[in-house]
Structure 1
Amino acid sequence: MKKESKVFGIYPVIEALKANKTLDKLYVQKDIQNPKIQSIINDAETLSITINEVPIEKLNRLTKGNHQGIVAIISPISFPPFEDTVETILATKETPLFVVLDQISDVRNFGAILRTAECTGVDAVIIQKKGGAPVSGDTVKTSAGAIFNIPICKVDHIKDAIFYLQGSGITTVAATEKSGSYLYDLDLKKPLALIMGSEGRGISKSVLSIVDKSASIPLLGTINSLNVSVACGTFLYEVIRQRNH
């Protein structure tokens, strides 16, 4: 199974870029002054690669080698273009199902969501280029390999992706405990995009303001929210239940 690998040091990272490797994230030492690293950053920005400025301690934890202030994560997968993927799915599926992740940051949650998405026939997962969990070897492991069986599209802004889906006839539903409606009250048989929020903040207010519908899951205990991967599974299996009855 192909897993994520790390490339560290100035010249190895330059070579990885030249070889058109799919870099998922670039970690750069905070406040480092090096023209070659700045040149790498410029190239990475052109390619919309996520760049994180981090303390040197973070780089030391990522690798035991001489990182020279820069570490790149090579993704185990490639990311198909968002709009092309949506159009292809719409041309072949009457009731497509998408999952949109609004900055899920935990790798294990991300992997678990991918595993459930694959098992429930989700057609594509959409993530933002910046701010989310890396597509790493841990994601591969937690997803039980599902990451290789489902398209994952990266977009600059989640809001723009939602507008595009809506314009394509897809109903967008936000999973949020703030909703006064339960997911069981919604018609989930139509073409659908389910939006899940980050572990700490949930779905951002700007995203909530543009979705077609929102829904919550009944919570009967004292804790006021579910783990995001569990919540996503609950929503997806309600979609399956409705579509098969």
Structure 2
Amino acid sequence: MKLYGKNPVLERLSVNPRSIKVIYLNEKNDTAAVGEIARRYGTRCISLGEKEFFARSEGCNTQGVIADIAEFSYAELEDFLELSDAQKPVFIALSNITDPQNLGSILRSAACFGDFALILPKHRSASINETVLRVACGGENYVPVVQETNLVAALQRLKKAGCWIAGSVVEQGEDVTGFSFPFPLCVVIGAEDKGIRQGLLAHLDFKVTLPMPGRALSLNAAVAAAVLCYEIIRQKNAKDKVAK
């Protein structure tokens, strides 16, 4: 698996340097600082001529930096279910999200707002690949990602562990700006075109809708997820302060 670009590689070096096997640097780019930081971590660096480097880039925007990294390591849902309610992250379960760029953007937003974990279906869903990592810009280092064969069963286990299950829908849900989210929480987000899979809807405790007073256009899943992440964490932090 490859990681492209200065910032994603530097982020990975600072968080999980052991996952990097080797870093390739384009001699024609200003990459000396990356090489210097990598050597501090004992990470192997190889400088390549432009032609040889380009052959490894597969046409991606690399900023002169490519890292060969270990395959992505998924987390186990059970590890989170055993935590106390206060320690549980906010779970984001994705339904019908097949576009890796959307998944990468959601991962990045979850990392920026903090205290989230993603749950992905094993089938009919995007998984963590090089495109996702490139779009996530290092977000994968801060957000645990769980992959589940049966998303319905995963929601049932979350409920048993005390989590409320919310679903993001285009219409006929509670206005998210006036709704008080209960915690611990899992929010299910579906694709822009297909929404949440029908079999999951019966397991929702409530539905929420993002108000759109402007034109009647839909938001794609990544944009909707970013708005929801902001509002959910805003409320969670406010409630945590009151609890203290």
Q: Could you say which TM-score interval applies, normalised by the shorter chain?
A: 0.5 to 0.7
| Partner in structure 2 of residue 50 of structure 1 | none
| Partner in structure 2 of residue 82 of structure 1 | 77
Q: Which runs of 5+ in 1 are unaligned?
A: 5-62, 64-73
- Deviation at 1:3? 3.5
Whether the 8 Å contact between 2:162 and 2:184 is mirrored in structure 1 is yes
Q: Which deviations, in whole Å up to 9, do the C-alpha atoms of 1:82-141 show, x marking residues without a partner?
A: 222432xx2484463111111311111100000011112233110000011131111001
Q: Of 220, 228, 234, which residue of structure 2 is paired with 1:227? A: 220
Q: Which runs of 5+ in 2 are unaligned?
A: 5-57, 59-68, 239-244
Give aligned pairs, total: 175
2:183 counterpart of 1:190: yes
Q: Which deviations, in whole Å up to 9, do the C-alpha atoms of 1:48-86 show, x marking residues without a partner?
A: xxxxxxxxxxxxxxx9xxxxxxxxxx9831112222243
Whether the 8 Å contact between 1:99 and 1:122 is mirrored in structure 2 is no
Q: Which deviations, in whole Å up to 9, do the C-alpha atoms of 1:202-234 show, x marking residues without a partner?
A: 001221111111010112233342111111111
CA 1:185–1:77: 2 relative to 1, 3 Å: same
Mapped partners of 1:137, 1:154: distance in 2: 17
| Partner in structure 2 of residue 147 of structure 1 | 140
2:130 counterpart of 1:121: no
Q: Of 90, 112, 132, which residue of structure 1 is paired with 2:105? A: 112
| Partner in structure 1 of residue 128 of structure 2 | 135
Mapped partners of 2:128, 2:107: distance in 1: 11
CA 1:189–1:181: 2 relative to 1, 3 Å: closer
Mapped partners of 1:166, 1:126: distance in 2: 14
Q: Which deviations, in whole Å up to 9, do the C-alpha atoms of 1:177-218 show, x marking residues without a partner?
A: 133311123222521111101232000122111111101011
RMSD: 2.4
2:194 counterpart of 1:201: yes
Mapped partners of 1:231, 1:181: distance in 2: 15
CA 1:78–1:180: 2 relative to 1, 3 Å: closer
2:235 counterpart of 1:242: yes
- Deviation at 1:157? 1.4
TM-score (norm. length: structure 1): 0.65
CA 1:101–1:86: 2 relative to 1, 3 Å: same
Mapped partners of 1:244, 1:78: distance in 2: 29
